[in-house]
Structure 1
Amino acid sequence: MEIDEPLSPGGRLFVQPATHQIINSVFGLEQPITLDALRTVISSSLLIKHPRFSSLLVTDNHGREHWRKTEIDINHHIIIRSNPVGEGDNDEEVVNEYLADLTVSSPLTTDKPLWEVHLLSAHKCLVLRIHHALGDGISLVSLMLTLCRKLDDPEQTPTIGPLTSSRQKHKNSGTLESILKLVKMVWFTLVYVFEFMMRGAWVKDGKTAVRGGEGVELWPRKLVTAKFSFEDMKTVKSAVANATINDVLFGVISSGLSKYLDSRSPDSLPEGLQMTGVALVNLRPSPGLQDIKELMKKNAGTAGWGNKVGIVLLPVYYHRNRSDPLQYLKRAKMMMDRKKLSMEAFLSHQIGYFVMKYFGAKVASLLEYKVICNTSFTISNVVGPREEITVTGIPITYMRATSSSLPHAITMHMVSYAGKADMQILVAKDIIPDPEKLAKCFEDALLEMKQHAVQT
């Protein structure tokens, strides 16, 4: 008889009502996939062989959550939508509307393992819904990609590029430089951890036209897609020494939000107004596809799997002066350099673990919920395959992801794939009624930075 396995602390956090999270990924296809082909590829994949994907979520008499092994019936996990799921001729808008509804009103039932595949034949796409308690986003992307194969080499599974930073590391630092770096690390850590704790207490962003708050996670949602060229992002990155793609992303967000706020509330906001984002940071080495295969071959259970994540607060600022759009990138890079030098992510994880251990998962969940209520947006960036890939031999045209709604009025998730970077922007439509304009502001911000980078 197999013994139930307790959820990890991170997994327990994601099943609490205040911080309940489901990852909704969508794979666009060149042509519709048949039900038989989909059933076959899932049956033979590592997806259903992983213990998390063949376990029920159960709660014991003390209110503790556990995983319990069960038999899988794949037919119960495939949801067939043969007819169009909405009105209109634009597949992207219809699929985004379908996903937006899922983020608010469609939890996963606990009478089966916490994942589903929705087959939207009329719109040539697959929607994968996976509960965040099963693992962190990067690991789940790696596992999902075992369903796929490379377009130019159908026998090979896709690969994900290294997640290392492009910052230059100086191995032979002098003693004085090392001491200065240590002092900066201690200082920034103290400042950022203090700010994190204050965000969980009472400190909040100033009121703007894009800020949500308590209860907003229940409001109706709308989802739009901002589309970027990865080459454009690399061109902008090269204009500032040692910048990264994440720096470019936050520069684009800062510039785009400034543009959007100008259209909503011109001349009413103070220069330099802070809008704070929340990002979850993976604190352990992310398993690649080969590592997952080896894990399954060795029957190593779920060692190394789970949700070991920390929270990082990422401020961006409202500015009117856009004569040099690269200033947004330079400010973002300075902020990101300081964040990476600090131990904010690690210590925020430790604070959450301490609270969960001594006060329980509900209190830890309410702490994170309070941090979200007191900030302005959620942001994530996941690196996908660089090459084109297929599922059951059908080329995948795009990969996108979003998550369950949060108290934030704006949630942004960017996924790069085959030279493109698509950012899903989920908004509370009663607060942001025109998210298409917001997406255009982000796209225009990148193009302005690119033009300036090419000219300088």
Structure 2
Amino acid sequence: MPFGRFSTPPPPPPAPATTDLAFLTAMISTAVVGLLVIQCIFISRRKARALQPSPAVVRRSMSFCSAACADGPMPDHAKMSPQDPIINAVVLFEGEAPTRAAVETAILPLFKFERFRSRKVKIHDEWYWELLPSFDTKMHVIEESFQGVDMDDLFRQLEVWSKKPLHVPTEAPPFEFALLRNESRRGPSAVICRVNHAIGDGVSLANLIPYVFKGLDGQSLPTKEKFSRRETGFMPTLRNPFTLLASFFKVLGTPSTAFDTDVGLTIPDKKQITFTGRRSIVRIPTVKLSFIKSVKNAAGVTVNDVVFAALAGAVHRLRVAMQDPVMTDPLSGSKVRTRALMPVALPRKVGDTVRGLRNKWSFASVNMPIGVKGSLERLHAAHATTTALKNSPIVMVQNMVETLVGARLPWSVAKQTAYDTFVRHTFVFSNLPGPDVPITFAGKEVSGLYMVFANLLPQVGALSLNGRIFTCLVLDEEVTPGARDLGKYFIDELMDLADRTGLNVKKEDILG
């Protein structure tokens, strides 16, 4: 039919259905592929940001020792609680404690150091310090009241606190200051500086004393430079390849050596040692540093030797009093094998706000002369052990093995190795020098300093302050009956040492 003015053109032929379906399929496929590409890019960028933080995030990798403390150094079957190792530095006051505001002000200098402004983060099984741009510094001071009339009442509170995890949230720097206010106003009070061991070792924390403590005149204390020596001058024995090789094999063999003799400080079946949660703080009577130095000079040893040997003697006397056949047998001395893990700090810079806080140390396995008969003989045995340690590269080798080998092991293997090493020993012994002058904290004069650490093994902490040595043991009294008598036996050992070295002293000349 011809088209006319009023004619209607025929409709166009319909498009094939397959055209619409192909277009729709193409659109969906493009969208799906696009989403997958975007997701892959997002994930890859997220991982890249985790491993390589943006310029706004400052993140520093932890050393193996710090990372082990951050992750928890013991395997789950050790039942450590809390899992994180918390160092408790106890600052004592004769009467009323400082105010919360004064404590908040006193700790402000700590925030100069990066680790006191950083949180722990774990990324792909690796631990880092992540610097926080801002956080509430006041949340690091907590306050609790109690009623007490003497040191025993206070230390019962400290026993509870020594087993508590930190109260600060996990996204905050891992430390806090606990202000224990005695409401009775007649007994002692305390402030506990509670620091995750990942922040630093004992030497690092001791080097912070001039930043937060002051003299009686309100002036700052001088900074100790004891550990600021150059590392290259500390390693002459590393040049002997035979000594290095012997130390290397000794370090590797320590986790599989024979177990120590049972002297009533741990459960007899040492393979089953766990953290029971029962921990008491046994205070050793405070002694005068001048007396310890008199014994040191008379015997030709060191202050550390005297304290270490006197502690071994106290345990020996306790076991004799309990008629332990291991000690009462005349031939037992050569059969008794007891060792202590002694943390030895390695040289580091002092005052560096980035590297000033370190975990640069290793445990040394040292013989503890609990089985040796005679106070002077125990002292000479302790001196021989520590002298050999100072002339040996074993601590440096131990640290290198931990850094180069331990850091590349799975955490489960590293933790089991730490456990196997611990349970073969009897004690952990730590001794640190403090200020030799009176000090104040937050405007109040300090009457004493204690280091309290709830460990898998009985832990000894000795700190000196203003001419006195403050020593305590943290242990399980159910495992060690009579542990409260160790203080008495410690003084008896010192009295015997004074007599045998020709010192004419009375007990009041010893007690600080």
Contact residue 379 and residue 411 of structure 1 kept, 8 A:
yes
Structure 1 CA distance for aligned equivalents of residues 142 and 194 of structure 2: 11
- Which structure has the larger Rg? 2
Of the candidates 406, 409, 413, which is equivalent to residue 359 of structure 1? 409
Report SS of the residue matched to 1:248: helix
In the other structure, the counterpart of 2:297 is: 238
Q: Match for residue 360 of structure 2?
A: 308
**Deviations, residues 141-179 of structure 1 (Å, cap 9, x unaligned):** 22144111111x422225548479xxxxxxxxxxxxxxx
Unaligned regions of 5+ residues in structure 2, if any?
Answer: 1-55, 75-83, 183-187, 229-235, 505-512
The alpha carbon displacement at 1:66 in A equals: 1.5
* Residue in 1 that maps onto 2:281: 223
Superposed displacement of residue 116, structure 1: 0.6
**Residue of 435, 438, 444 corresponding to 1:394:** 444
Q: Does 1:445 align with 2:512?
A: no
Same amino acid, percent of matched pairs: 21
> Aligned partners of 1:404 and 1:286: how far apart in 2?
28
The residue correspondences of 1:83-162 to structure 2 (distance < 5 A) are: 83-84=146-147, 89-90=149-150, 92-107=151-166, 109-122=169-182, 123-151=188-216, 153-160=217-224, 162=226
CA distance in 1, matches of 2:373, 2:120: 52
Establish whether residue 412 from structure 1 lines up as the match of residue 460 from structure 2. Answer: yes
Tell me which of 378, 381, 385 is aligned to 2:435: 385
Q: 1:318 to 1:390 in 2, by over 3 A?
A: closer
Cα separation, partners in 2 of 1:276 and 1:158, compared to 1, 3 Å:
same
Look up the equivalent residue of 2:60 and give its one-letter code.
E
Q: Assess if the C-alpha contact under 8 Å between 1:10 and 1:306 holds in 2.
A: no
Q: Give the distance between the partners of 2:240 and 2:385, measured in 1 at CA.
A: 13
Preserved contact between residue 96 and residue 224 of structure 1 (Cα < 8 Å): no
Cα distance in 2 between the residues matched to 1:137 and 1:320? 30
1:332-371 residue pairs with structure 2 within 5 A?
332-371=382-421
Once the two structures are TM-superposed, the CA of residue 250 in structure 1 deviates from its matched residue by 2.1
**Is residue 2:108 matched to residue 1:58?**
no
Q: How does 1:274-293 map to 2 (within 5 A)?
A: 274-285=337-348, 287=350, 292=351
Aligned to 2:252: 197
Deviations 1:362-403 (A, max 9, x none): 422321221111111000001100000112331111111122
Match of 1:427 in 2: 475
Letter in 1 for 2:141: I
Q: Secondary structure at the match of 2:484?
A: helix
Aligned partners of 2:315, 2:307: CA distance in 1, in Å? 12
Q: Determine if the alignment matches structure 1 residue 210 to structure 2 residue 303.
A: no
Give the C-alpha shift of residue 47 in structure 1. 0.6
Partner of 2:86: 22
Q: CA deviation at 1:304?
A: 5.1
Cα distance in 1 between the residues matched to 2:221 and 2:493:
35
Matched residue count? 417
Report SS of the residue matched to 1:279: strand
2:506 is equivalent to residue 454 of structure 1 = no
Equivalent-residue separation in structure 2 for 1:271 and 1:155 (angstroms): 52
Matched, 1:5 2:60: yes
Spell out the pairing of 1:258-273 with structure 2 (5 A cutoff).
Answer: 258-269=316-327, 270-272=332-334, 273=336
Instruction: Please state whether the residue corresponding to 1:259 is helix, strand or coil.
Output: helix
Matched to 1:69, the amino acid is L
**Contact (CA 8 Å) 1:281, 1:345: kept in 2 or not?**
yes
Using the alignment, how far apart are the partners of 2:118 and 2:348 within structure 1? 24
Superposition RMSD on alpha carbons, in Å? Answer: 2.6
Q: 1:231 to 1:163 in 2, by over 3 A?
A: farther
In structure 2, the partner of 1:38 is 103
Which string of whole-angstrom CA distances, capped at 9 and with x for unpartnered residues, describes residues 90-136 of structure 1? Answer: 2x223322332233343454132100101112042111101110011
Q: Structure 1: which 5+ runs fail to align?
A: 165-180, 297-301
Q: Which of 304, 307, 314 does residue 249 from structure 1 map onto? A: 307
Cα distance in structure 1, aligned partners of 2:199 and 2:363: 18
Q: Secondary structure at the match of 2:256?
A: coil
